[in-house]
Amino acid sequence: MRTTLRGKLLPPVLAIVFSVLLCTVALLISGDNPLDAFGAMIGQLFRGTTAVDTLNSGAVYYLAGLAVAIGFQMNLFNIGVEGQYRFAAVVAAIVGGAIALPPGIHTLVIIIVAIVAGALYALIPALLKVYRGVSEVISTIMLNAIAIGLIAYLVSTDAFGVQVGNNIATEPIPESGWMPGIPFGDNGTLFGFVFVAALVGYGYWVLLNRTRFGFELKASGESPTAATAGGVDARKMILTAMLLSGGVAGLTALPELLGRDHEYLQTSPAGYGFAGIAVALLGRNHPGGIALGAVLWAFLDKSAVSLDNVGVPQEITTIMQGAIVLSVVIAYEIVRRVELAAEQRRVGRQLGRDTSDVAAGGSV
């Protein structure tokens, strides 16, 4: 138990420490004071709406991380979360702005549309993987590029877009389709979708650890050959895993869409899908770890504005995020090798004691 806990907690801690040290060196080389920079970032968390904004953004990163983690469990690298969530957000915004339903039902329809759209966009690389042997890495990268062009067309005035000042957006979603949040006065409003994201994380945990499907999913990821020999349909597992991953990816933009923007703009934020890969790696595909990674990632984003006040470039947070991604992979491998060596030594000592006992018994 202690070894397992150490293997899960030590790598991300080492990665964060290494990232802080690397940023400290970068700040010292540039002539800035690291204590001032890090102090400003931490202090920013307690100013204005930063704390609430961090949780709101954390929910977005959390959903993206869960979508990536589902693929990782099946040993699939779904880089296409970026395209899947953006495509789903546009489709959900278009449908949400085009219908009129009672409150609650309207919101539920938008959520279902987003899940279905994300899953359908993920179905394309899944089918290519299962029936043509095409690597999901290649196909999802290509589909990300296609999604950019497809979204640009859907949001244009030639399709479903409307002119909004100097920008173009989908038709606004009526208030009946919004998801209410929890207001904290001057400290901002917490998105209601934060709690939906938490439920999705719990469902992910239950699916993997309390169901037969979760066992088969992890078994197929560990060894497809052994899983097939045990009666698991590998093709079915790939299809299901990609559909689930795409469905969760479809939820990624909904915290902002239903809680703040209520329309999809041509300038809507992008990049959440790629950040989700880093968050999933940092959290070791565990829902709790992904949650911590998502909040950390959001904190670095939201606290970056404070660096201007102390004369430090905001790009230092980008360096920190990149260093975390790089070092967490290395840290997991180092810890794995250390634990393997420790286990081998433990087994060696046990065998030595058993041999001594046998020899002593024989001499008697």
Alpha-carbon gap, residue 323 to 42, rounded angstroms: 19
**What pLDDT sits at residue 240?**
94
For residue 29, how many C-alpha atoms fall within 13 Å in the half-sphere facing its CB?
A: 7
Secondary structure in 3-state letters for 264-298: CECCCCCCHHHHHHHHHHHCCCCHHHHHHHHHHHH
Residue 33 within any structural domain of the chain: no
pTM of the entire predicted model: 0.90
pLDDT of residue 121: 98
3-state secondary structure of 211: coil
Please choose, from the candidates 171, 326, 320, the residue with its C-alpha nearest in 3D space to the C-alpha of residue 257: 171
Residues 235-271 pLDDT 10s: 899 999 999 999 999 999 999 999 999 999 988 989 9
Distance CA(157)–CA(261), nearest Å, equals: 19
363: in domain = no
CA distances from 19 to 240, 275, 313 (A): 36, 16, 16
Q: How far is CA 211 from CA 206, 215, 222, in A?
A: 7, 7, 17
Q: What is the pLDDT of residue 8?
A: 66
CA distance 145 to 82: 10
Q: DSSP secondary-structure letter at 47?
A: S
Beta carbons of 311 and 287 less than 8 angstroms apart: no
Decide if 263 is inside a domain: yes
DSSP readout, 219-236? Answer: HHHH-HHHHHHTT--HHH
How far is the C-alpha of 117 from the C-alpha of 27, rounded, in Å? 44
The whole domain housing 263 covers 58-326
pLDDT tens digits along 226-236: 777 778 888 89
Q: Is 74 helix (H, G, I), strand (E, B) or coil?
A: coil
Interhelix angle 287-303/272-282, nearest 10 degrees:
130
Residue 32 in domain: no
- Domain count for the chain, please give it: 1
Does residue 181 form part of some domain? yes
- pLDDT, position 361: 59
pLDDT under 50: residue ranges of the chain: 1
Sign of the CA dihedral running 357, 361, 363, 364:
positive
Query: Residue 249: which CATH number?
Result: 1.10.3470
Q: Is residue 332 part of a domain?
A: no
Residue 189 lies in a domain: yes
Residue 358 forms part of a structural domain: no
Could you give the count of Cα atoms lying within 13 Å of 114 in the half-sphere of its Cβ?
A: 26
The reported pLDDT for the residue numbered 353 is: 66
